[in-house]
Amino acid sequence: MTSKGGPQEPQGVRVQVEDSAEDLAYATEYAKLFKLRREATELQKIYDGKKQLLEELQRQSDMLRSKIDDAVQLRASLDSLLKDEDPNTSAQKAQELFEEQRARGEREIQSLKEEKARAIETKQKLQRQKQEMSVYADMLQGVCRLAKFEDVDQLAWYIEDQLHLTEKLVEKEKQVQEETDQQRKELSKVQEKQKLLRQTMNGQLYQLHTEIEEIRSQAEVWEMKWGHIQDTAAKKTLELCQIKMITLNLFETLGGVVEEKGININDTEKQLDQIVTRMKDMEDILKMHKDLYHGQDSSKGKAEHDPTY
């Protein structure tokens, strides 16, 4: 009932049915009824064919009965011939011919009986199916009235259209499911790669953590050494400052002048040079005084011992 271009919407529909999920399920259920109706139509055709076959078998059965009657008449004629021929030979030939005809007739009768039995069984089965399908036919008529369709054919058009749409949706859902499965596989692969990468990174992080601990230990050692160096440098700096202050005080004590009129206050080396020079001068002066003092003492002693002096 579908056209070459695909299912078309029936022309005689009075009310357009909404394509909601409930209507689609409703249409799908009645699509099954429509299929059953088509099957019932096909079964009706089969039933009609079997009925014709049964009538043909009945006709053949009548013909077979006619043949049997002919065989009986033939036997009667043979019996009359037996009177004129040799009794033994004629009787034997007649008996063989009769047995052959009878066996053939019985086989045909048995075959027709079996065929008739199968035809009767098929007829009864088709009648039962027809009776069962009549319920669905009534239901389809009721659906037509409820859905405001003019007849069952228009309902069939609509159901086929909805069924075609359902098949498309099922195909689309199947495609989406396949894509979902493919994406799920891809996600599984990515997760596996992430797991391996995480394990590799954890190993590297553990190695880096070990190296960091070693570096921290070395840093603590160097920090202790640096602290010792700083303490030593501080002591040295303090001693140097003390030396500078002592040198400056000694320089000023010895009459040295600093800043604008003399040596720079931070030039300790020059101050030391000046101190050394002044101390040498003072030693020379002291030596001269000592020599002069010793000379005076010597002259005084000579004068006491030598009156003429």
42 with 133: CB under 8 angstroms? no
On whether residue 272 sits in a domain, the answer given is: yes
The pLDDT assigned to 244 comes to 83
Higher pLDDT, 114 or 144: 114
Boundary-marking domain end, from 88, 113, 146: 146
pLDDT beyond 80 at 177:
yes
pLDDT-derived band at 183, boundaries 50, 70, 90: very high
Boundary-marking domain end, from 113, 146, 179: 146
Rounded-to-integer distance, Cα 186 and Cα 196, Å: 15
On whether residue 15 sits in a domain, the answer given is: no
Boundary-marking domain end, from 125, 146, 167: 146
- What's the domain range around 79? 21-146
On whether residue 121 sits in a domain, the answer given is: yes
On whether residue 223 sits in a domain, the answer given is: no
Does this model's pTM top 0.85? My answer is no
The pLDDT assigned to 307 comes to 54
| Mean pLDDT, residues 66-76 | 71
133 with 40: CB under 8 angstroms? yes
On whether residue 33 sits in a domain, the answer given is: yes
On whether residue 168 sits in a domain, the answer given is: no
| Mean pLDDT, residues 95-103 | 74
pLDDT-derived band at 14, boundaries 50, 70, 90: very low
Tally of domains in the chain = 2
The pLDDT assigned to 264 comes to 76
pLDDT beyond 60 at 67:
yes
The pLDDT assigned to 181 comes to 92
| Mean pLDDT, residues 158-165 | 74
- pLDDT digit string, tens, across residues 16-65: 434 445 555 555 666 666 666 677 677 777 777 777 877 777 787 777 77
pLDDT beyond 90 at 192:
yes
pLDDT beyond 90 at 143:
no
Rounded-to-integer distance, Cα 78 and Cα 96, Å: 12
Rounded-to-integer distance, Cα 279 and Cα 214, Å: 59
Least confident of 9-23, 161-175, 236-250: 9-23
On whether residue 52 sits in a domain, the answer given is: yes
Q: Which two tokens stand for residue 182?
A: 């493919």
pLDDT beyond 50 at 115:
yes
On whether residue 69 sits in a domain, the answer given is: yes
Task: Provide CB contacts within 8 A for 147, sequence distance 6+.
Answer: 15, 17, 155, 158
| Residue of 57, 62, 64 whose CA lies nearest to 118 | 57
Higher pLDDT, 235 or 79: 235
